[in-house]
Amino acid sequence: MNDSSLSLNKAHWVRPDVDLSAVERVARAHDLPEVVARLLLQRGVVPEDVPGFLNPTLREHFPDPFAMADMKGLAEFVAEAIQAGRKFAIFGDFDVDGATSSALLYRFLKHCGVDAPIYIPDRLTEGYGPNVEALRSLKDAGAEIVFLLDCGTTAFDVVQVGSEMGLDILILDHHEAETDLPQARYVINPKRKDDAAGLEVLAAVGVTFMTCVAINKVLREAGFFAGDEAPLKSWLDIVALGTVCDMVPLTGVNRLLVRQGFAQMQNSDNIGLNALIDVAGINGAIEPYHAGFVLGPRINAGSRVHKSDTGAKLLSCDDPGQAKDMAWLLNDCNDKRKALQEEMELAAINQVEDRGLDQNSVIFVSGEGWHTGLSGLVAGRLKEKYGKPACVVAFVENERGEIEGRGSGRSIPGVHLAQAFIDARNEGIIEKGGGHAMAGGFTVAKGRLDEFEAFLQKHIAGQVESGQSKVETVVDGVLTVRGAKTDLVRLVQDFVGPFGQEAPEPLFLFQNVRVHSADVVGRAHIRVMISDWEGGSRMKAMAFRAVGTPLGDALLKQGRAGFDLLGTLKIDNWGGQDKVEMHIKDAALLSETLAEKAALL
């Protein structure tokens, strides 16, 4: 688009070019509406791959675990250790990815006759990653082999000490890796520089699942299983849960695992997961939304305001009574987390506004008495509000009696925040640092906080400027209110989904829309009723967290004005009747419409 006009969210709306004849062929060949066929092609699915994309199967599309670096050696080592009766222990991260990884490996080892205790570090007192005291306690309890799940790739010193203790340390991780690796016996990480399997998108729970498949194969070939093999497919429900919650790309193997996992979740035999679903009040089909915004926050809440191992214990539990008690505990923890987070968010926003920090390349705030378990959530809110990378630091007293900052960062597309943390760690500015492109964590001495912030501001200023120079929003399809039917929405969800990182929910443009009413719901959301300009059926639309934004102000102030609206579509079941609901992401006033200028028709 060459026109300089912007939407209310200051974005350029663009629609990718696509071969219309190919759209027609795909639509006819697979009996799809053209809007769905076009969406598939726009997202890079070539016509010959459409059947496999619409209905991917494990048999045809599951990758070879042994293509991953170190996998053959690890699988053979673990299989031999199981048969020899050696003692295992599991050390997992405290987030949902770590909890699901730990529960998955626990269940697999249990099926193989191994009772492997799970150790999840306390988020507040121990922080992220393995520590020497934890490894020593596992060794003292009899462990000979320790799995490090969703952590360990950058824990060089701790892993070395653990190995010197006589522990065989096995790392299953997916965080950014350097050329050098810790002195573990085996390191399975698709982001290893020497790993050519092409599975970089995997979450830790995906890496753990691949590892279980590999070990299972070695045990099968050794004639280990007297009865049934491990029911690996039945555990895909927690693989899907961890994958969605860790916000890794839902492409390639992850899309396969999540689709299969949510199919399994509809009739899950995981007693702990089912208890959490019941307590959370989820009715009907369970979707990725429920994983990311309903189930995941409850599991995470345990480590944020209670005990870090509650989520892993719940997903490993086979006792209905205990599972129900833990599920209710996590539900209560989540309520407490919400209240604490709201208070911390307000303090962080006030700090930004009072000091003009929104003018910096990185939003960087810190506070005494802030809850370290909520830093990542607050950083995410700041990133959303200001459209820039954000870091939130809480000060705590470490085991040496020193005050240090433990922080979390959330980034925007085009800015690799975790790499900046790694670079700062390598230069000795911070003690710990790592993560993913979009999220990471760090530990910094309080006396070096200003130095670290200055390093970040300088290190990624160019990335931020480049990323913000031209914000483009891709329009996935053009619809009318009259044409937005439940059947169409279901087709999009079933055939194009699941949606998540790098596979976003399709954004549909509704042109020449009349807003009949608009009102505030709660304190931050706006509900509107819309129709096509010429009238006809009406549809409810929601603009979340829009109060006080240009989008929200326009919706509330324009009365019966006309808009071009851009948003996602959901099916809302109210009173037993399914209706389509729009979630508004952006808008343009008809007097400033972008649709004609962008030639989107």
Strand positions, DSSP E, 79-235: 88-92, 118-119, 145-149, 168-172, 186-188
Confidence (pLDDT) at 598 = 41
Contact at 8 Å (CB) between 158 and 62? Answer: no
Grouping H, G, I as helix, E, B as strand and the rest as coil, residue 532 is strand
Whether 132 has a pLDDT exceeding 60, the answer reads yes
- CA 258, 260, 263, 268: dihedral to nearest 10 degrees? -90
- 61-332 — its CATH code? 3.90.1640.30
Mean pLDDT over residues 441-465, rounded? 91
The model's pTM is 0.87
Mean pLDDT over residues 584-598, rounded? 68
DSSP code of residue 287: -
The angle formed by the CA atoms of residues 381, 396 and 415, to the nearest 5 degrees, is 35
**Start-end ranges of CATH 2.40.50.460 in the chain?**
12-55+475-598
467: confidence class by pLDDT, cuts 50, 70, 90 = low
Whether 453 has a pLDDT exceeding 90, the answer reads yes
Least confident of 44-48, 403-407, 571-575: 571-575
**Start-end ranges of CATH 3.90.1640.30 in the chain?**
61-332
- The 10s digit of each residue's pLDDT in 231-253 is 999 999 999 999 999 989 999 99
CA distance 577 to 83: 56
CA distance 81 to 61: 30
Whether 23 has a pLDDT exceeding 80, the answer reads yes
The angle formed by the CA atoms of residues 450, 456 and 461, to the nearest 5 degrees, is 130
572: confidence class by pLDDT, cuts 50, 70, 90 = confident
CA distance 477 to 460: 34
Please list the residues that pair with 366 across neighbouring strands.
393
Confidence (pLDDT) at 597 = 43
CA distance 364 to 380: 12
CA distance 159 to 366: 30
CA distance 161 to 5: 59
- R_g of the chain computed on alpha carbons: 25
Cis peptide bond upstream of 389, omega within 30: no
Confidence (pLDDT) at 387 = 85
**Start-end ranges of CATH 3.10.310.30 in the chain?**
356-468
Whether 211 has a pLDDT exceeding 90, the answer reads yes
468: confidence class by pLDDT, cuts 50, 70, 90 = low
Whether 596 has a pLDDT exceeding 80, the answer reads no
Mean pLDDT of the chain: 92
Contact at 8 Å (CB) between 159 and 183? Answer: yes
Q: Quick one: 513 exposed, middle or buried, by C-beta within 10 A (0-12, 13-18, 19+)?
A: buried
Q: Does domain 356-468 have CATH number 3.40.109.10?
A: no
- The 10s digit of each residue's pLDDT in 428-439 is 999 989 888 888
CA distance 287 to 266: 9
- The 10s digit of each residue's pLDDT in 181-195 is 999 999 999 999 999
- The 10s digit of each residue's pLDDT in 255-290 is 999 999 999 999 999 999 999 999 999 988 899 989
Whether 459 has a pLDDT exceeding 60, the answer reads yes
Strand positions, DSSP E, 427-560: 432-435, 439-445, 472-474, 477-479, 508-521, 525-532, 535-543
Residue that has been written with the tokens 């324009």 in this structure: 558
Grouping H, G, I as helix, E, B as strand and the rest as coil, residue 309 is coil
The angle formed by the CA atoms of residues 189, 193 and 198, to the nearest 5 degrees, is 65
CATH of 12-55+475-598, one of 2.30.30.40, 3.40.190.100, 2.40.50.460, 1.20.120.530: 2.40.50.460
Q: Which residues of 419-432 are buried (b: 16+ CB within 10 A; e: fewer)?
A: bbbbbbbeeebbbb
Q: In the chain, pLDDT over 90 holds for what percent of residues? A: 81
- The 10s digit of each residue's pLDDT in 89-118 is 999 999 999 999 999 999 999 999 999 999
* φ and ψ at residue 148, rounded to 5 degrees: -105, 115
Please give the structure tokens belonging to residue 8: 């209310």
Q: H-helix or E-strand containing 403?
A: strand 403-410
Confidence (pLDDT) at 3 = 38
